[in-house]
Structures are given as C-alpha cells and as structure tokens.
Amino acid sequence: MADPRRGPVPAMTSPTYRSAVVDFKRQLIETTLREHGGNRTHAARALGVQRTYLLRLIRDLRVATPASAGRHGERPAT
C-alpha cells in the first residue's frame, strides 16, 4: 500500500532499479578486471570479495572479460 504522505508508488520502479544495479556491478567488475590485467584473483581481492563469488558474478551478469595471457604468463597458441 502506498504511503499517503509520499504519494503513489510508481509501478515500474523495480525493473529500472534492478537493471541499474546489474549494469553498475557489470561495469565495476569489467573495469577492475581491466585494471588487473584480467587476473580474477587480484580483481576479487581489490573488490573485497571471494574469488569464487566473483566468478559467479562474471557468469551470472555476463561480464565481458579481457583476453588473458593464460596461466603463468604464457601466450595462448594461435
């Protein structure tokens, strides 16, 4: 029920709010990954989250991940 002192509650605020939060999270993760050269462990540490939680966010939010150099700095075969 709407609070009469605040006026009516707009019907479509939730999807807009949720999409804004998802966009913010995605952008923050992409920026942090870029800053750490695609290193997910370092990015997770910088964000203050567990690496496994960051991996789940990357998957669930469909975060664009930068191309990494592979394990231990090796270049992927072309």
pLDDT confidence of residue 9: 54
- Spatial separation of the C-alpha atoms in residues 37 and 68, rounded to whole Å: 7
pTM of the model: 0.67
- Spatial separation of the C-alpha atoms in residues 10 and 69, rounded to whole Å: 48
> pLDDT averaged over consecutive 10-residue blocks of the chain (78 residues)?
56 74 96 96 98 97 76 51
pLDDT confidence of residue 73: 52
pLDDT confidence of residue 22: 94
What's the token pair of residue 66?
């930068």
What's the token pair of residue 6?
């605040």
pLDDT confidence of residue 38: 95
Element (H, E) at 14: helix 13-35
